[in-house]
Structure 1
Amino acid sequence: KQNKMKLTIVSNGLEIKNQIRKLKKLQIDCVSLSLDGGIPKTHDYIRGIRGAYDKVLESIKILQKENIPVSVITTVNKINFKELNLIRDLLINKKIAWQIQIALPIGRFSRNLVISRKQFYGVAMFIALNLKKYSVRKLPLIGAHCFGYFSMILPELGLDPWIGCQAGKSVLGIQSNGNIKGCLTLSDDFIEGNIRTTNISDIINSRFDLKYNQYLHKNNSQDYCYNCEMFKKCKGGCLGTRMALNSFDNPYCL
């Protein structure tokens, strides 16, 4: 905050009620809560905690009452793919920004549950249609950095024009255990240090973005992304998506 960086916390919403005082003291820019199902059964199953769905909805009300900006993140997989309409109906006219992203095979998440390319296109269509149907005031909806880029079919699904992955450049993430990465969607191979043992400014000043840049400029003429005419601008899209799926190419491209 002292360096004019925006501070956002991503949470499952389970302990928000007990952390309000800390959040207000931090002058948080936004609390992003995970909502991964349109009904309690789905969300609770994905999260592995009974009652998690109700906790998220309760946390939204608490944050809004305390005038703390709140948004919702839905991570789409084969389990909740067909519940986007239900989640949308929960959020309409609630003044809650909604980000949709795809689940990646990182950590405990199974590769078998990652959506297909056809389903990915379906989610992109859902975003595009609802952006057209609803005003920003009624449903502030965006596709995360795994969507869009330079599509002529479904353009402008994200918030800003794509200028390449910003991991380690204008973005960094701090995990709950203090580990620091250029982006929280990246694997532990990209941990640069720990905030409990190293000053964050020291990590940033030690050429923080070098590890990320080496993946953005790989020269391999056999790769689909590298041969694309938009590669110099796009740089292969979301680095987290590419690294989680096949190390370089981005199979989810519109």
Structure 2
Amino acid sequence: MEGKPAAEKKWLPKLIAWEVTRSCNLDCIHCRAAARFGPYPNELKTEECLAFLDDVAKAFPSFIIILTGGEPMMRDDIWEIAAHGHKLGLRMVMAPCGFLVTEETARKMKEVGIQRVSYSIDGLTAESHDNFRRVKGAFDSVMQAIENSKKVGLEFQVNTTITKHNLHELPQILDMVIKLGAKAHHPFLLVPTGRGSELKHLEIPPEEYEKTLTWFYNMRDKVPIQFKPTCAPHYYRIFRQHEREKGITVKPETHGLDAMTKGCMGGQSFAFVSHTGKVQICGFLDVECGDIRKEPFSKIWDTSKVFKEMRAWDDYKGRCGYCEFRRVCGGCRARAYAFTGDYMQEEPFCTYQPSEEAKNAHNKRKEAAGEK
């Protein structure tokens, strides 16, 4: 069994995706928030945003905050928020849509301490990307935003949501991302929530997931930038299976972040905070874990019932509960929730069958604990 037992871990968050606003100038077919232009009622006020950053910086120094949305640049006070976090020593990054990133605003990002931006490219051409984002000109706006970022020396990465409509384009999108000069490419496997709940027919089938994630593994040493599948926890099982077949032990000294990270980090080293201050394990799992208007995030992180459940890997249901890779994979809790209504259920898009030995060991642990 790989990974340190949950009971022995000190749970420290490393990353928060913060939806500073839900207002957005795109209309993406997969959007978890079904975001529109807005304005949306009850969004956190400036002083609440600054207090949230104060709490996080005090409890978890050197933390990463992703300013996301919606379109984070649609907040009038976004520069004040970003500058405050930077001043506190937090690593501030941003996920803008592209339309608002002029050379002037890109320079402003650098001035207030934004250390990286992420842009989404979901198609190889303007036609395929714009069809997915449902706004004409979206592709060209991202390309211009990237050029503006490069002009001012602002580091950027590219994210890609993978569905049936663009899976065949993925190798060429990767090539394009490398040529554009991105620091990283993070393809996301579609999680069908929000508007995305209507796109289950576009989610690639489990067998294709396995094939695609194996392709990721085969590419990991060939790509000159960070290439990380996201919302695809079973990659870390596939990665270890293939290394084991080669007689290689996975360790940080030789495998870097791939050896240190876990498939699903929600509630374990990652959290999401909504535009109204609601805390979730991630943006795709719409289950409230706390409210920063009622208690500090630092307290929610330590006491939330849902967060504690996320950390109890042996209590996952179905195959995920007894899989020998549960401590490095864990399945996608949001995908389990979307398909079953229970975030503790097994990952519905994984084809792996755990060994009988692992299943028997799990049953013995349950019996010893007095559980059925």
The AA in structure 2 aligned to 1:65 is K
Counterpart pick for 1:73 among 134, 145, 159: 159
Q: Distance in 2 between matches of 1:221 and 1:188?
A: 18
Aligned counterpart, 1:4:
62
Aligned to 1:83: 169
Partner of 2:5: none
Cα deviation 1:91-123 (Å, max 9, x = unaligned):
224431100121111001121111111221232
Residue 203 (structure 2) pairs with residue 105 (structure 1): no
Percent identical: 22
Q: Which residue of 2 aligns with 1:45?
A: 131
* 1:182–1:209 CA contact under 8 A, matched in 2: no
- Does 2:187 align with 1:187? no
Question: Residue 278 of structure 2 contacts residue 290 of structure 2 at CA under 8 Å; is this kept in 1?
Answer: yes
SS at 1:90's partner residue?
helix
2:32 is aligned to none
Unpaired runs of 5+ residues, structure 2, are 1-52, 65-91, 244-249, 353-372
- Relative CO higher for 1 or 2, CA cutoff 8 Å, sep ≥ 6? 2
User: Contact 1:225 / 1:250 at 8 angstroms: preserved in 2?
Assistant: yes
Q: Which amino acid aligns with 2:236?
A: Y
Q: Which residue of 1 aligns with 2:41?
A: none
After superposition, what is the alpha-carbon deviation per residue over 1:73-107, rounded to whole angstroms, capped at 9, x for unaligned? 01101111111122122122443110012111100
Partner of 1:205: 299
| Residue 131 (structure 1) aligned to one of 171, 196, 220 | 220
Q: Distance in 1 between matches of 2:329 and 2:312?
A: 7
Match for residue 121 of structure 1?
Answer: 210
SS in structure 1 at match of 2:174:
helix
Pair 15,180 (structure 1): closer, same or farther in 2 beyond 3 Å = farther
Q: Which portions of structure 1, spanning 4 or more consecutive aligned residues, are displaced by more than 6 angstroms?
A: 218-222
Q: Which amino acid aligns with 2:94?
A: I
The AA in structure 1 aligned to 2:214 is: M
Range with greater deviation from structure 2 (123-132 or 157-166): 157-166
Aligned mate of 1:229, from 295, 300, 324: 324
Q: Is the alpha carbon distance of 1:45 and 1:224 closer, same or farther for their aligned partners in structure 2, counting shifts above 3 Å?
A: same
CA 1:238 to 1:11, structure 2 compared with 1: closer, same or farther past 3 Å? Answer: farther
Taking structure 2 as the reference length, the TM-score comes to 0.57
2:256, 2:129 → 1: CA distance? 24
Query: CA separation of 1:181/1:95 partners in 2, compared to 1, >3 Å: closer, same or farther?
Result: farther
Amino acid at match of 2:133: R
Residue of structure 2 in register with 1:242 after alignment? 336
Residue deviations 1:33-65, cap 9 Å, x none? Answer: 111111111110111101101111111111122
**Alignment CA distance shift 1:191-1:15 (3 Å):** farther
Q: Report the alpha carbon displacement of residue 202 of structure 1 after superposing the two structures with TM.
A: 1.1
Instruction: Please state how far the C-alpha of 1:133 moved relative to its aligned partner.
Output: 2.8
What is the CA–CA distance in structure 2 between the aligned matches of 1:57 and 1:181, rounded to whole Å?
33
Q: Which runs of 5+ in 1 are unaligned?
A: none
Compute the displacement of 1:219 (Å): 6.5
Q: Could you tell me how far 1:216 is from its partner in structure 2?
A: 4.6
1:5 is displaced (CA, Å) by 1.3
> Post-superposition shift, 1:14?
2.3
Conserved? CA contact 2:317–2:346, under 8 Å: no
Q: Which residue of 1 aligns with 2:348?
A: 251
Aligned residues: 245
Secondary structure of the residue that 1:168 maps to in structure 2?
coil
* Partner-residue secondary structure (3-state), 1:12: coil
Which has the larger helix fraction? Answer: 2
Cα RMSD, aligned residues only: 3.0
Match of 1:170 in 2: 269
Residue type at the aligned position of 1:32: S
TM norm structure 1: 0.81
Change (3 A) 1:62 1:48: same
Deviation of residue 145 (structure 1)?
A: 4.3
